[in-house]
Structure 1
Amino acid sequence: MTTTREMIEETHDAAPVEMLAALFEAHGWTTEQVSDEEVTGEVPGAWTSYQVRGIWRTEDKVLQIICLPEIRVPDGKKREAYELLSRINEQLWLGHFDLWSQGGMIIYRHGLMLGIDGMLSIDMAQMAVESAISECDRFYPAFQFVLWGDKSPRDALDAALVDAAGEA
């Protein structure tokens, strides 16, 4: 019997939602295919577990990767959160962080343009998920410092980047 890992290793390209679902299953992460255009998985990170969503837009051939670090911004901290988001986004080459207007959640988003065939390789899927988790892990402490440690956005980001640079 072929395992999920063997199946995705043998698969060169697949529909984006199917490939992400197979990747999540191969790693043993909880996954749910919400629809033909959306899959979600629970992915462990260094600080917390993240909900990672893949949303496929057929007409644009774009797969959006959304990572939710389960950080809610209280109303009294929104100004500081927006300043921190701006400072963090200056550090990113791919993707960006947002403050979701519904519910005040911090999210990370990145869009992958997949071309005419709209297929996703296992390598691209793995890199996209790893990148989202890596960026959320990298900046998670900064959000905590601002929201619960009363640090300024500048000090929080400096402290988070020093801590991340010191980890091996």
Structure 2
Amino acid sequence: METALNDNIGSEYGAPMDVLAALFDARGWPLDTYAQEELGGEIQGAWVKYQLRAVLRPQDGVLQLICLPDIRVSKEQLMPAYELLSLVNEQVWLGHFDIWSQGRVLVYRHGALLADDGMLSISQAQALIENAVDECDRFYPAFQFALWGNKSPEDALEAAMIDAAGEA
């Protein structure tokens, strides 16, 4: 896989948006460019397709990866959803889950610092995407249990973690 990606961008490191575009292309994932410093696409996870966005802030040397599992939270569900978010985020080592105030959409966000030269490696790009999808897959059932299954946030997380532990 890495050889094919290297052929697409010419080396192991490159401009972040070029590296991500090459990775999407090599994997056959649909890709949309929204601006010079923003792109997105769709990736199939274990449960649903996730919308993935990458936003580059070159002045800060940060690439933010946003993964949207297509979960909207109603006003009535906000308090238990926030309680579940805090429990879930205790389990997450990289990035965090949040609910965007506009549209009350669940998101996973991870801001990655780039090297001093602003470049991103293929392995970094792949790890960022895999981590985002893995975390969304890992906690998607908890949000399902809490928001649609009427479980308490604690019970939803416990049930999701038991289910995830049982998968191989």
Structure 1, unmatched stretches of 5+, are none
TM-score when normalising by structure 1: 0.95
Q: Which runs of 4+ in 1 moved over 3 A?
A: 3-6
TM-aligned CA distance change 1:6 to 1:58, over 3 Å: closer
Q: Secondary structure at the match of 1:110?
A: strand
Per-residue deviation at 1:7?
2.1
Per-residue deviation at 1:17?
1.1
Report the equivalent of 1:56.
Answer: 56
Per-residue deviation at 1:65?
0.4
Report the equivalent of 1:109.
Answer: 109
TM-aligned CA distance change 1:158 to 1:84, over 3 Å: same
Q: How many aligned residue pairs are there? A: 166
- Asked if the contact 2:9/2:19 (under 8 Å) is kept, the reply is no
Aligned equivalents of 1:152, 1:144: Cα separation in 2: 11
Structure 2, unmatched stretches of 5+, are none
Report the equivalent of 1:147.
Answer: 147
Aligned equivalents of 2:7, 2:19: Cα separation in 1: 10
Q: Secondary structure at the match of 1:140?
A: helix
Aligned equivalents of 2:81, 2:56: Cα separation in 1: 29
TM-score when normalising by structure 2: 0.95
- Asked if the contact 2:9/2:18 (under 8 Å) is kept, the reply is no
Listed one character per residue, the Cα deviations across residues 67-100 of structure 1 (whole Å, up to 9, x for unaligned) are: 0000000111000000000000000111000000
Report the equivalent of 1:35.
Answer: 35
Aligned equivalents of 1:51, 1:4: Cα separation in 2: 24
User: Over aligned residues, Cα RMSD in angstroms?
Assistant: 1.4
